Amino acid sequence: MRENKKETPLMMRWTKILEPISIISLLGCGIWIFMGTPIETEMGFSQKIMYLHVPTVIVTYLAFFVVFAFSIAYLWKRDMMFDQVAKSSAEVGLIFCGLVLVTGAIWGKPTWGTYWVWDARLTTTLLLFLIFAGYFLLRAFATDREREARLASVLGIIGFLDIPIIHKSVEWWRTLHQPTTLLKVNEAGEAKPAMPMDLLLPLLVTMLAMLLFYGYLLFLRIQMEERYHVLQETIVKKEGA
């Protein structure tokens, strides 16, 4: 039906490259975080979870941005390939969004004294998770593939709009969650991370490793999706013959 087969070997090669690189670098980051990085003064040991919480947030933002971009691309060009990418990225994004909520709760208990509060940052993040859980319900209920892709694209675009709200929630409203550290604006009006280099560098490297891991999961998932549809088309052809 389409010429996806030409693109597949390239993607397979990327998946094969990203698999060992991302997994080994994540393991390396883990060792570095526990053995090499200094203990933060205020929070002590529990601050270590920042190295998992923040990179998962970044991946969640990126994954749903990819959903947003490819949903627009689908509605514009009506190419199923774009919908497959959006669906795959939404799936990875949903898992990472769940991880954000879980790691946040684990971190919240020792620092705030509670796993959960209904403040604006946490509530809008939960909303993001629910929107994309609904996104898959919508896909599951749609009967024909074109219609599924069209409806999911619309929801994917709307769902992404929650992310700027999440990001700005700590500025717009009074929250228990602290304001941004990495893009903190100092007195001089310039954005500078409110964190010493010894803590910042491992965070940025872990972020990069997590992004590579996201790339690996995304490529793997897109391949699965392609193979699934090739298989279905073959079955339909055989049954027709």
The residues that touch other proteins, with contacts defined as CB under 8 A, are 35, 38-45, 47, 50, 110-114, 117-120, 123, 172-176, 178-181, 184, 194-196, 198-199
Q: Which of 20, 134 has the CB closer to other proteins?
A: 134
Q: Which of 65, 112 has the CB closer to other proteins?
A: 112
| Joined tokens for residue 240 | 């027709």
As measured in angstroms, the least distance from the Cβ of 121 to other proteins is 9
- Residue 196, phi-psi category: left (phi > 0), alpha (psi -120 to 50), beta (remainder): beta
The whole-angstrom separation of Cα 108 and Cα 82 is 38
Q: Which of 150, 184 has the CB closer to other proteins?
A: 184
| Joined tokens for residue 10 | 């390239």
Q: Which of 8, 175 has the CB closer to other proteins?
A: 175
As measured in angstroms, the least distance from the Cβ of 47 to other proteins is 7
- CB burial of 42-77 (b: ≥16 within 10 Å; e: otherwise) equals eeeeebbbbbbbbbbbbbbbbbbebbbbbbbbbbee
148 contacts 139 by C-beta, under 8 angstroms: yes
As measured in angstroms, the least distance from the Cβ of 162 to other proteins is 13
As measured in angstroms, the least distance from the Cβ of 94 to other proteins is 22
Q: Which of 62, 203 has the CB closer to other proteins?
A: 203
What is the number of residues in the chain? 241
218 contacts 66 by C-beta, under 8 angstroms: yes
Q: Which of 173, 228 has the CB closer to other proteins?
A: 173
Q: Which of 90, 199 has the CB closer to other proteins?
A: 199
Residue with tokens 């994004």, as numbered in its chain: 93
Residue with tokens 């749903």, as numbered in its chain: 64
The partner residues of 191 in beta bridges, in order of sequence, read 185
Residue with tokens 């795959």, as numbered in its chain: 88
As measured in angstroms, the least distance from the Cβ of 37 to other proteins is 9
As measured in angstroms, the least distance from the Cβ of 45 to other proteins is 6
Nearest to 78 by CA among 140, 136, 151, 149: 149
Dihedral sign, Cα of residue 153, residue 94, residue 53, residue 22: negative
As measured in angstroms, the least distance from the Cβ of 228 to other proteins is 34
